[in-house]
Chains A and B, each alone.
Chain A
Amino acid sequence: MERSKCLEAIYPELHDKLVVTIMGACAQELYNLGHRENFFYLQHAMGLASSIGLGLALHRPEEKVVVLDGDGSVLMNLGTLATLARYRPKNMVHIIFDNGSLLSTGGFASHTTSGITDLAAIARGAGIEHVATATNPLQFGEAVLGAFERDDLSVIVAQVRAVGPDKYGMDLHLPENAFRFRRHIAQRKQLAVSHEQ
């Protein structure tokens, strides 16, 4: 299974959610499908995408927050799984693409290579109730749709091949992405309030 195909499959479902991705290949593949104002690409600070997701989810409970993470990033911040379990944001879906590789920083093997470290088991052990694994597109699609419909924190560990895009580059400066993402969230909030009135 390829991550780019997974992203392609869920892309139509992302328009009404807040999406945070990790750096490198994952960010680029999402961007290549078409940037949207509700996407934030964390191009550095490995490990913190899920922490940003938690901060968003707790403070915008009416929004669904989707974090597109990776094995290398999660391994740099394993404590995040325990913090997520403790605060259990009902509106957050944490998708971890596990390619067993630090692909965007040189393609070196990560601890999950050949199944040595089991991130789904760590997530369960951290206290997260809804943890799914996916090794093929059908499983992935079902797990994601289930998580989008569920009113509870969900973690999905998707095993994907260690391949990325041929070219890198975005017409989007990093602070520009942050400013626009924040403004977009404020506009959605305002729109939601005006709909209620």
Chain B
Amino acid sequence: MYLLQRLEDDPEVQLIEVAKEEEAIGIAAGAYFAGERHLLLMQNHGFLAAINGIVSLAQLYSVPLCMLIALRGHWGEPYPWHTKGGIVTEEVLRALKIPFEYARDPAKVGQQIREAYTFAQSSLSPVALLLTRDLMED
């Protein structure tokens, strides 16, 4: 089952779907100012499209962001169009000084998300959990 479908069906989650990922950085900042928790879900190409918002809103104003980033274009990727973005994602995260971890084990990903959220809040910084192909259902 798709994660988005599960989020839509969860009464404890308000799912806000955007036209482009950078909007979600602003919406998450608004939710943060409002005192609410947030998780951002995007693909790594969406992360690349959202960089100005991450740098010039979240980092500039010390707003925590907990980003779950589906990592395409990495080991095992069959589609050529994902590969260029996939190859540069880790280097871009490092250049932006965004702490990140890889999530590879479905049994551990829940704990990793909680830890990512905690670290975003304590560091007042964007953090990223890279969701690898190992987590994907067939």
Q: Mark B114-130, 1 if CB is under 8 A from A, else 0.
A: 00000000000000000
- Number of interface residues, chain B, beta carbon within 8 A: 29
- Contact present for B57 and A59 (CB under 8 Å): no
- Contact present for A45 and B57 (CB under 8 Å): yes
User: Is B27 an interface residue, CB under 8 A from the partner?
Assistant: yes
User: Is A186 an interface residue, CB under 8 A from the partner?
Assistant: yes
Q: For residue A45, which residues in chain B have a CB less than 8 angstroms away from its CB?
A: 25-26, 52-53, 56-57, 60
Q: For residue A52, which residues in chain B have a CB less than 8 angstroms away from its CB?
A: 26-27, 29-30, 33, 57
What is the bound-complex CA distance between A167 and B60, given in angstroms?
23
Given contacts A45-B57, A178-B61, contact A185 B34 (CB under 8 A): yes
User: Is A48 an interface residue, CB under 8 A from the partner?
Assistant: yes
Interface of A: prevailing SS: helix
Query: Which of B3-11, B13-21, B72-80, B84-92 binds A?
Result: B13-21
What is the bound-complex CA distance between A56 and B24, given in angstroms?
12
User: Is A54 an interface residue, CB under 8 A from the partner?
Assistant: yes
Q: For residue A54, which residues in chain B have a CB less than 8 angstroms away from its CB?
A: 16, 26-27, 30
Which B-chain residue is minimally distant from A189 (CB atoms)? B35
What is the bound-complex CA distance between A175 and B23, given in angstroms?
20
The residue that B33 contacts in the complex, of A43, A80, A185, with Cβ under 8 A, is: A185
- Contact present for A82 and B19 (CB under 8 Å): yes
Chain B interface (Cβ < 8 Å from any Cβ of A):
14, 16-20, 22-36, 52-53, 56-57, 60-63
The residue that A175 contacts in the complex, of B18, B26, B53, B61, with Cβ under 8 A, is: B61
Q: For residue B63, which residues in chain A have a CB less than 8 angstroms away from its CB?
A: 178
- Contact present for A83 and B30 (CB under 8 Å): no
- Contact present for B23 and A48 (CB under 8 Å): yes
- Number of interface residues, chain A, beta carbon within 8 A: 37
Instruction: State the Cβ distance, A184 to closest chain B Cβ, in Å.
Output: 9
A55-82 interface (Cβ within 8 A of B):
55-60, 77, 79-80, 82
Q: For residue A58, which residues in chain B have a CB less than 8 angstroms away from its CB?
A: 14, 16, 27, 30-31
List 25 A-B pairs, Cβ < 8 Å: A44-B60, A45-B56, A48-B25, A51-B23, A51-B25, A51-B27, A51-B30, A52-B33, A55-B27, A55-B28, A55-B31, A58-B14, A59-B34, A77-B20, A77-B22, A80-B19, A83-B17, A83-B19, A87-B16, A174-B61, A175-B61, A178-B61, A178-B63, A179-B62, A189-B35
Which B-chain residue is minimally distant from A48 (CB atoms)? B26
